[in-house]
Amino acid sequence: MSACPLCASQRLEMVLHVARVPLQIGVALPSHQQALGAATGDVRLAQCRDCGLVVNDGFEAERIRYAPGYDVSLTHSPLYRAYLHQEALALVGEHGVRDRAVVELGCGDGYFLRLLCQLGGNSGDGYDPSLRAAHTEAVGEGRVRLHPQEFRPQPPPKAPGLVVARSILELLPDPAGFLRMINAMADPGRPGTLVYLEVPNADWLLGNRMAWNVHYEHRSYFTADTLRRACAAQGMRVLECAPCYMDGQYLRLVAVAGGAPTSALGPANPHTAQSARDFAGAYREQRSRWTARLSSWAGSGLRTVLWGAGGRGTSFLAAVDPGARLVDFTVDANPARHGAFLPVTGHRVCPPTDLRGVSCDMLVISNATYEREIVAAARDEGFEGETWTL
């Protein structure tokens, strides 16, 4: 067992071991052969008995590389776009993020950064090594610059008014060091730099037994309690930290940076430890149940399609159909994935229009959040079979 990446404790309690999972869920391969040979790793889910953080103890940072082509974007969903608009409005309206310099770390395609600049007249710089190219684009009264690289801290001429990091903290080998860096981006002489963080909600994942939301590249799984204490320990004054998006799938945290680090995290919440142990049993049960179900359908000559080739779909197929014998192909609304193949299993990713004129009996939906959107889209393409949701 290694040390906790948040508090450095070596008191990690093993919860679940899953072998041969795809190394990165955001990478679809250009050929079937490359997909079958994609790198894998083992998830060894554990909980720190001192600070309470849930971690993947099998994580090896040197095996992970974020480069152009990596894509976990959800902005093709109207539901998700509405959520991002709501979050941007809250930062602009409730926290006064107007006419400020905004820095987003791990900005993806810059969608959220553009919203902040459009709605608040802000200027923005986004950093992400998975960007295909750097460009500057006029947006409303502000300007957005996207940089295809990791952010490298250096004394800026002026401290940013807002630092944003969405769906990145959980991926990092040193989350404490990352939070320390963000806190140091504030100007000590002019406090007031806001921080907006978003991470997957471990309480939601564990409590709802979301088996297919466990990924190798997720180093850490934060509860609201651990996220709040981690930020406070690095010197941030936390203004709010609460579940967000639908039924609480993510956590949003707003804080003021620039305070003195304390490095005092405090004790773990015992409720999280029990939830993690219960989750391990639920994972094994779901994998067994879905393998049997898909095998039964295939044995009866039924044709099955999976809609959703993102993280949940990729993890699900690697666990229950590694030989790609039970699910015929996958469908995804994200055009960046069309024509590619999923790592490890080699399932081909097709556009929704490929459902037209194809005889499909079962449609498995990988993410219940988008069930209504997906069912409507599938019916529009002529699908008349049964729908099942993970």
What pLDDT, in 10s, does the model give residues 110-130? 999 999 999 999 999 999 999
- Any idea what the Cα angle at residue 57 is, between residues 56 and 60, rounded to 5°? 90
Q: What is the DSSP string of 78-94?
A: HHHHHHHHHHHHHHHHT
Q: How high is the pLDDT of residue 155?
A: 65
Buried b (16+ CB within 10 A) or exposed e, 68-97: eebbbbbeebeebeebbeebbebbbeebeb
Whether residue 180 is predicted with pLDDT greater than 60 in this model: the reply is yes
Sign of the alpha-carbon dihedral angle for 310, 311, 312, 313: positive
Burial of 322 (0-12, 13-18, 19+ CB in 10 A): middle
- 137: confidence class by pLDDT, cuts 50, 70, 90: low
Q: Is the pLDDT of residue 139 over 50?
A: no
* pTM for the structure as a whole: 0.94
Round the average pLDDT of the chain to a whole number and report it. 93
CA angle 39, 66, 208 (to 5 degrees): 75
Q: Tell me the per-residue pLDDT of 313-357, one tens digit each, with 9 for 90 and over.
A: 999 999 999 999 999 999 999 998 999 999 999 999 999 999 998
Predicted pLDDT at 138? 43
Q: Is residue 8 pLDDT above 90, yes or no?
A: yes
Q: What is the distance between the alpha carbons of residues 205 and 125, in angstroms, rounded to a whole number?
A: 32
Kind plus residue range of the DSSP H or E element containing 103:
strand 101-105
Q: How confident is the model at residue 187 (pLDDT cuts 50, 70, 90)?
A: confident
pLDDT for res 267 = 74
Sign of the CA dihedral running 138, 139, 142, 145: negative
Is the predicted pLDDT of residue 41 greater than 60, yes or no? Answer: yes
Residue spans per domain, the chain? 12-58, 78-271, 287-389
Over residues 200-229, the pLDDT tens digits come to 999 999 999 999 999 999 999 999 999 999
- Topology match between the domains 78-271 and 287-389: yes
Please give the DSSP secondary-structure letter assigned to residue 342.
-
Q: How far apart are CA 128 and CA 67, in angstroms?
A: 9
Note every long-range contact of 292-297, with CB atoms under 8 Å and residues 24 or more positions apart, other chains counting.
294/320, 294/321, 294/326, 294/327, 295/326, 297/326, 297/361, 297/362
Reading the block at residue 259, the tokens are 């305070």
CATH code of the region 287-389: 3.40.50.720
DSSP letters along 146-175, please?
Answer: EESS-------SS--SEEEEES-GGG-S-H
* Closest CA relative to residue 266, chosen from 313, 231, 298: 231
Query: For the chain, percent helix, then strand, then coil, each to nearest 5?
Result: 30, 25, 45
Residue 266 has pLDDT above 50, yes or no: yes
Please determine, looking at this structure, whether the domain spanning 78-271 carries the CATH number 3.30.560.10: no
Evaluate whether 284 touches 342 at the Cβ level (below 8 Å): no
By C-alpha distance, which of 120, 126, 176, 132 is closest to 151?
126
Q: Is 239 helix (H, G, I), strand (E, B) or coil?
A: strand
Question: Which helix (H) or strand (E) segment is 230 a member of?
Answer: helix 224-233
DSSP of 260-301: -------PPPHHHHHHHHHHHHHHHHHHHHHHHHHHHHHHTT
pLDDT value of residue 188: 73
Q: Which amino acid is at 344?
A: V
